[in-house]
Amino acid sequence: MNPSALSNERLHGLDAVRGFALLLGVALHAAMSYLPGAELFWVVADGDRSQFLAGGFWWIHSFRMTLFFVLAGFFGRLALQRLGTRNFVRDRGKRIVLPLVSLWWPVLMAIVAVIVWNAWLKNGGTMPAQEPQPPLTMRNFPLTHLWFLYLLAIFYAAMLALRASLRMLDRGGHLQAALDRSVRAIGGPWAPLLLAVPAAIALVSLPIWWHWFGIPTPDTGLIPNPAACVAYGLAFLGGWALQRQPSLLAAQSRRWPLNLALAIAASGACLYLLKLMPTTAPAGDGRIAWGYAFAYAAAGWAWSLALIGLALRFLGGHSPVRRYLADASYWIYIVHLPLTMAVQVAASRYDAPWWVEYPVGLALVLMATLLSYQWLVRRTWIGAWLNGRRVPRPRAAAGGAAPEAA
């Protein structure tokens, strides 16, 4: 693949993978009520638990957000190059910060409503006695699943500050050239193993690490946990570097078989150390914990780079369906969680097996969110707000209506 083409053409494959990462989050959350031990960490626990869904949850969670932040860094620098600093700040404020600030409250209230409904059902149609809730603080602020927008805003601000500092301190460009050489050295065939080291150290350094759940989700508190900052911050930097040096991105399209093999091997090592069983017990501090942390972080990077390489290699052409889903994925992810929880609460009242309830529930959530996107978002000011543009309505042509633009 020609590196210059990667910097000049729209990367349809990366658009598709970014949407894929968000939609995988819907599949992951839809599985939560069926995981062993769900009563300890989720709003509702279904009567029928699934080891299969537990394995799927582990696999998706091992790489999904690493992949997302790599792509966020890539597209972030691409937008900065196209818009300039001032317009970039305005654009990110509109499409990242404003959705977080304006949609967080209604999403949280919908989640609380589902929690109350579930408690009412479990208590036979009456509300159980409630303990007083502690006041909101910096440490217990509930960001919900919109935490990724909060972390993105932090990363954008940090990168702009770092970029401005480098320009002031490195007017001759020597430090930047040295950094570029270092990135090229790290970005070789063994990149997933080298990039795994900081995240592994951060994971093992946590006071308590629930190793089945991998990188702790920073969904509570306005001070993100160190492991998430290190792992996802490095992923964001990696995506930024891939956009800065197109030759590195082109190399990933060639190395996808190697990255895929590393991903399978690292995931297999993790599952061997876990004995294929989900656990809510914290990890220890011995060699097994270190080995698992390294293998887990390496798997996240290897899966991410393998999927990016596969997308560049096989999904480079324009597809109306993929583009539509990529555009819709942002809205779907923002609004899906309360609906997903409500479907799980309803399903828990029946005795159907998980292999019936899960696909039906997931299909209902995706259908409802896709329809809401088509009717309420795509061609409205909301679509222009979230996606940066409003898709025009099809205009009637002589002899019939023009086909819908995707």
pLDDT in tens, 282-327: 777 688 899 999 999 999 999 999 999 999 999 988 899 999 999 9
CA gap 35, 41 in Å, rounded: 10
Q: What would the pLDDT profile of 139-170 be if each residue is shown by its tens digit?
A: 999 999 999 999 999 999 999 999 999 888 88
Lookup: tokens for 124: 């036979």
- Write phi, then psi, for 194 (nearest 5 degrees): -70, -45
Lookup: tokens for 389: 């543009």
Residue 142, helix vs strand vs coil: strand
Residue 220, helix vs strand vs coil: strand
Structural domain of 143: 3-401
- Asked whether residue 281 is domain-assigned, the answer is yes
- Asked whether residue 217 is domain-assigned, the answer is yes
Domain count, the chain: 1
CA angle centred on 205, ends 33 and 306, rounded to 5°: 60
Write down the pLDDT at residue 275. 77
Beta bridge partners of 199: none
The answer to whether 234 and 195 are in contact (CB under 8 A) is yes
- Asked whether residue 406 is domain-assigned, the answer is no
Neighbouring residues of 146: CB distance < 8 A, sequence distance ≥ 6: 99, 100, 103, 104, 107, 334
CA gap 281, 377 in Å, rounded: 42
The yes-or-no verdict on residue 13 having pLDDT over 50 is yes
The pLDDT confidence band at residue 124, using thresholds 50, 70 and 90, is: confident
Distance of CA 344 to the CA centre of its chain: 22
The pLDDT confidence band at residue 279, using thresholds 50, 70 and 90, is: confident
- Asked whether residue 97 is domain-assigned, the answer is yes
- Asked whether residue 63 is domain-assigned, the answer is yes
Exposed / middle / buried, residue 271 (Cβ in 10 Å: 0-12, 13-18, 19+): middle
As a residue count, the chain comes to 406
CA gap 222, 21 in Å, rounded: 24
